[in-house]
Structure 1
C-alpha cells in the first residue's frame, strides 16, 4: 500500500503483515490490526478479518516523532527535579532550607512544556484528502 502525496514523487509503503493503526471516516476512535491481505482490484485491505475500503479511511497513524521523546524526557526531568529537591530538603537536617517556589517552577515549566510537546507535535498522522491518498498497487508479474 502506498501513501501518496500530490507534490511528492516519493511515497511511503506498508506491506502485508505489518501493523496498521487507522481511523475511519466519522469515527472518533482508532482501530489497529495486522494487514492480512491487500486487494488491489477493489482497493481494500483485510484487517481483523474484515474488509476495510481505502476510501473509508480518514487518517493513518504513522508513528511518533522526536517531539514525543523530548516531551517525555522533559516530563521525567521535571518529576525527577521535584523528587530529588523534596528528598534533599527532607534529609539535609538544615531547618532554613525547604522546597521552594523555584523548585516548583522548574518542575512545572519542564513538565508543562513536555506535555505540550507530546500533545501538539507527538504523532505523525497521514490524513487522506484532496492532496493525499492511499493506494494499493499490484506488483505481481
Structure 2
C-alpha cells in the first residue's frame, strides 16, 4: 500500500514545471525574495521621481526585460522597488479609532453620570489628539518598504524551467 501511494504521488507530479522569476538579493545574505509572473510591483526608474505600478506579464531573461501590460522595462533601469506594509496602516487606523472612542466614551460618560463635578477635561482631549495624531503619522510614514537597487540590493532575472524553449 505504501508503494502504491508513493507511485501515485510521483506520477501525479511529473507534469509540474518551474517558472521565471524576478529575484531580489541582499549582499551577504543567502535569503532572497522572489517576485513571480502575475505579481503587481511598484518601481521607480533611474532618473525619475515618481513610482510606477505594473503587472508582470512575462520575464525575458535573455534580453533582461520585464514585460508589463503596456511597456517593457530593462531590469538594469530599475532604481528602487516599493512594497506595501499592511501593519502600519492597521496599527495607525487602530490608534485613530482608539482616540475617537476615548473622547466619545468620555463625553457619553460625563453626560450620563449625573455628577455635576465631572466634565470632559483637557486630559481626555490630549489622549484623543495624541493617539489620533500618532496613528495618522504612523499610517503615512510606515506605509511602504523601499528597496534601493545598487550597493546592498540587486535584481536578477532567473529562468527556473527544466527545459528552456526559446519560443516560450
- RMSD of Structure 2 on Structure 1 (CA): 2.1
Measure, in 1, the Cα distance between the counterparts of 2:80 and 2:112. 52
Between the aligned partners of 2:100 and 2:51, the Cα distance in structure 1 is 30
Counterparts of residues 9-88 of structure 1 (less than 5 Å): 9-64=30-85, 66-88=87-109
For the residue of structure 2 that corresponds to 1:99, the secondary structure is coil
Is 1:102 aligned to residue 114 of structure 2?
no
Query: C-alpha displacement at 1:94, in angstroms?
Result: 5.0
Quickly say closer, same or farther: Cα 1:99–1:26, change in 2 above 3 A.
farther
TM-score, with length taken from structure 2: 0.72
Partners of 1:81 and 1:23 in 2: CA distance: 41
Larger Rg: 2
Q: So what's the TM-score if we normalise by structure 1?
A: 0.84
1:118 alignment partner, one of 132, 136, 139: 139
Give, in angstroms, the shift of residue 104 of structure 1.
Answer: 0.9
| CA distance in 2 between partners of 1:111 and 1:82 (Å) | 11
2: distance between equivalents of 1:80 and 1:26?
46
User: Corresponding residue for 1:138?
Assistant: 159
Give 5+ residue unaligned stretches, structure 2.
Answer: 1-21, 164-168
- Aligned length in residues: 141
Alpha-carbon displacement from aligned partner over 1:2-32 (angstroms, at most 9, x marks no partner): 0111111121001111111222223332211
CA contact (8 A) 1:68 1:123 kept: no
